[in-house]
A = this chain, B = another copy of it.
């Protein structure tokens, strides 16, 4: 059991530089938790009691405005560190994390973070890198929202999803978890209706293949063209 944990955790970039002994020491303080599909791992605004590494499954991280508008911040896949609010000096989680399929995560009490980085300075560097790459992602998204048309943004979003959680299937690459038109809309700053229209049009052209909470990319290369603006 413990060795299973160690082997999967070894692939987490933030833990990669640690020795097996160090890994075991860190894993001693973790507990493994199971989240059923549609279960919340944590809720926006609640106290940031833990930080996590996802062992298995997929999470949707979403954020709601005071006015009730909702956006999808990102999806978390196995091996990723998440819920590190405390490390950024936040008392409360700034977003909600929901399991989109049955999932399993390792959880550490947030209070342990300071000792852990004191004992393993590489952890701090790793966390900085994790947060840094998320910052990059966010800024790329701001650029997209500022300068691209909806069609390009949807293409970009699908390509990113395929890269992060794509599974090769017979006719292309399928997003490896249930995702609705509404979810895509909340990732791209548009509406359910517009996403549906775009996907329908693409399906006509054989670029994608759809279904209820299912998206398969049949021609990623052409989609990439659309994302880059050569589509129109």
Contact = CB atoms under 8 A, between A and B. Distances in A.
Interface in A103-162: 117-118, 121, 124-125, 127-129, 131-136, 138-139, 141-143, 145-147
Contacts of A73: 139, 142
Contacts of A136: 88, 90, 94
A67 interface: yes
A166 to B, nearest CB: 23
Interface in A48-102: 63, 65-67, 69, 71, 73, 87-90, 94-95
A36 interface: no
A71 B189 contact: no
A229 B69 CA distance: 13
Contacts of A121: 117-118, 121, 124
Nearest to A121: B121
Given A121-B121, A124-B124, A63 B143 contact: yes
Contacts of A135: 88, 131, 134-135, 138
A189 B67 CA distance: 21
A178 to B, nearest CB: 22
Interface of A: 63, 65-67, 69, 71, 73, 87-90, 94-95, 117-118, 121, 124-125, 127-129, 131-136, 138-139, 141-143, 145-147, 186, 189, 228-229
Given A121-B124, A128-B131, 5 more contacts: A73-B139, A94-B136, A127-B128, A131-B135, A134-B135
Nearest first, the 3 A-B pairs at minimum CB distance are A88-B132, A146-B189, A138-B138
19 contacts: A63-B139, A63-B143, A69-B143, A73-B139, A88-B129, A88-B136, A90-B132, A117-B121, A117-B124, A124-B124, A124-B125, A127-B128, A128-B128, A138-B139, A141-B142, A142-B142, A145-B145, A145-B146, A146-B186
